[in-house]
Amino acid sequence: MFVSDCMTRDPVTVRPESDPVAAVALLKCGSFRHLPVVTEAGDLVGIVARADLEAFLAQAESPGVIKRQHRVEQVMNREVVTVDPDCPLEEAARLMVEHKIGSLPVVDGGQVVGIITETDIFKMFAAVLGGGTRSLRLTVRVPDVPGQLAELAGRIAQVGGNISSVVAYAADRPEHLNITLRIERATKEAVLDAVVGQFRLEVLHVWDETEQ
- φ/ψ of 18, rounded to 5, equals -65, 155
| Residue 104 pLDDT | 97
SS3 assignment, position 45? strand
User: How many angstroms separate the Cα of 160 from the Cα of each of 43, 72, 100, 147, 172?
Assistant: 54, 59, 44, 20, 31
Give the orientation angle of helix 20-30 with respect to helix 50-59, to 10 degrees.
Answer: 140
pLDDT of residue 100: 94
pLDDT score for 126: 82
Structural domains of the chain sorted by starting position, each given as residue range(s) with its CATH number in brackets: 3-126 (3.10.580.10), 131-211 (3.30.70.260)
**Residue 67: predicted pLDDT:** 57
pLDDT tens-digit series, residues 69-97 = 899 999 999 999 999 999 999 999 999 99
Specify the pLDDT at position 5: 94
- pTM value is 0.77
Compute CA distances 17 → 36, 44, 50, 150, 186, whole Å: 13, 13, 16, 58, 60
54 - beta bridge partners?
A: none
pLDDT score at 4: 96
Calculate helix-pair angle for 89-99, 118-128, nearest 10 degrees. 140
Report the pLDDT value the prediction gives residue 206, as an integer from 0 to 100: 95
pLDDT at position 64: 62
| 127 membership: H or E segment, kind and range | helix 118-128
3-state SS, one letter per residue, for 173-209: CCCEEEEEEEEECCCHHHHHHHHCCCCCCEEEEEEEH
Parts of the chain with a pLDDT under 50: none
Distance CA 178, CA 139 (A): 7
The confidence score (pLDDT) of residue 68 equals 60
Q: State the pLDDT at residue 125.
A: 84
CA 103 – CA 118 distance, rounded (Å): 6
For residue 211, the model assigns a pLDDT of 66
